[in-house]
Amino acid sequence: MPDHRHYMQLALAEARKSPPKPTNFCVGAVLVDSIRDEVLSTGYTLELEGNTHAEQCALQKFAQKYHRPVAEIGQFLPPGTVLYTTMEPCALRLSGNLPCVDRILQTRDGGAEGVRTVYTGVHEPEKFVGENRGRSQLEEHGVECVHISGLEDEILQVAQAGHEREA
């Protein structure tokens, strides 16, 4: 049984690697084989080239490890793969990039088990896109979303690094 708080703290450590910018949240993600209790991949905001999100980076790095297109990773993710992310996955990208919700759902294409559970630390603040429907969209498609409590203040502090503080 995975230690959920441990993996959320790993995701938070990844988030701290994100370059602070006023136009992004610093988010971390950890892809985990929950049966073997083993990290498969990690990612953080802007880790890879382009305007990349943490979940996108974790999935893309896993695909690169196996020399496969990211759209096919659901076919070779181990059963029981889960995703820990410090912030609720996005359902809308203002940049035009594929939202993280769609990337997670893509792991289930072709009948693959893919990512069945997403553990989150906080909901996305309504700063950039208004109300994020990431959690509800995942749940509508059969992906369980579980909030891991206890790190919210720290996650939000890291997530908003580089943002102007409101007076």
User: Which structural domains are found in the chain, ordered by start?
Assistant: 8-159 (3.40.140.10)
Query: What pLDDT is recorded for position 24?
Result: 86
What would the two tokens of residue 74 be?
A: 């659901």
Catalytic pick among 47, 55, 88, 124: 55
Q: Compute the average pLDDT of residues 69-96.
A: 89
Query: pTM higher than 0.75 for the full model?
Result: yes
Closest Cα to residue 38, out of 67, 64, 2?
A: 2
DSSP H stretches of helix in 23-74 = 54-65
55 flagged as catalytic: yes
- Note the residue count of the chain: 167
Structural contact between residues 65 and 76, judged by C-beta atoms closer than 8 angstroms? no
Structural contact between residues 87 and 122, judged by C-beta atoms closer than 8 angstroms? yes
Structural contact between residues 52 and 95, judged by C-beta atoms closer than 8 angstroms? no
Query: What pLDDT is recorded for position 22?
Result: 85
| Cross-strand bridge partners of residue 81 | 33
- Of the two residues 110 and 119, the one the predictor is more confident about is 119
